[in-house]
Amino acid sequence: MNCLEERIVKDGIVREGNVLKVDSFLNHQMDIELFDEMGKEWKKRFAGKNINKILTIEASGIGIACIAAQHFGVPVVFAKKAKSINLEGEMYVAEVESFTHKCKNQVIVSKKFLNPEDHVLIIDDFLANGCALQGLIQIVQASGATVEGIGIAIEKGFQAGGRMIRNLGFHIESLAIVEAMDSETGTITFREQ
């Protein structure tokens, strides 16, 4: 088990409806030392890739992406979930559905910050049905930039997102892939990697 899997076993809480709560270290309170280990691991797994920018999505992807960016020496762009009056000018827009919040969001990135010369690593905290990720991929492709890879903290392997997006030829590295969860016993089974 890697450090993220160990932490999920220690502090993750399984709830009914396939909900995995990791808010004590990943997406509400954030363990920065753990994020640093995760960044190190992605750097290793994406070794040799020509990456000049990290793209993530607000809110819980941002902290992970910023700490990981230190290992790649690149800036981070975060996609926003709602139109802001300060975000004028031309924007790339994708529509995504949220599993957690049960609603549709527009995801936007200013055209200033993605262009055909960019080689992008997408980073996010969760991959389940893959809607958010598809929105980010759509935005990178609309800009003419290249998706060099996708770094995910926790993938729900029993949902279709990861398989679908890998089948499209994308290189996804999920640090923990949950194959099964049992809310009665609290047991979490990870995919062997």
Instruction: Kindly state whether residue 58 participates in binding a second copy, applying the rule CB under 8 A.
Output: yes
Instruction: Kindly state whether residue 66 participates in binding a second copy, applying the rule CB under 8 A.
Output: yes
Instruction: Kindly state whether residue 32 participates in binding a second copy, applying the rule CB under 8 A.
Output: yes
Sign of the CA dihedral with 161 first, then 171, 52, and 120 last = negative
Among residues 11, 18, 31, 93, the one that binds a second copy under rule CB under 8 A: 31
Among residues 18, 37, 49, 63, the one that binds a second copy under rule CB under 8 A: 63
Site for a second copy in 121-180 (CB under 8 A): none
Instruction: Kindly state whether residue 10 participates in binding a second copy, applying the rule CB under 8 A.
Output: no
How far is it, in rounded angstroms, from Cα 38 to Cα 151?
10
User: 102-137 burial, b for 16+ CB within 10 Å, e for fewer?
Assistant: eeebebbbeeebbeeebbbbbbbbbbbbbbbbbbbb
Instruction: Kindly state whether residue 9 participates in binding a second copy, applying the rule CB under 8 A.
Output: no
The piece of 40-48, 55-63, 129-137, 169-177 that touches a second copy (CB under 8 A) is 55-63
Instruction: Kindly state whether residue 46 participates in binding a second copy, applying the rule CB under 8 A.
Output: no
Q: Which is nearer to a second copy, 28 or 166 (CB)?
A: 28
Shortest distance (Å) from residue 59 CB to a second copy: 4
| Omega before residue 59 within 30° of 0, cis | yes
Inter-residue contact 22 to 60 (CB < 8 Å): no
At 140, list the tokens.
């990178």
Burial class (CB in 10 A: 0-12, 13-18, 19+), 184: exposed
What does each C-alpha distance from 180 to 46, 58, 86, 183 come to in angstroms? 27, 27, 42, 10
Shortest distance (Å) from residue 138 CB to a second copy: 18
Residues found near a second copy in the complex (CB under 8 A): 15, 19, 21, 23-25, 28-32, 35-36, 58-59, 62-63, 65-67, 69-70, 74-78, 80, 82, 84-88, 100-102, 109-110, 112-113
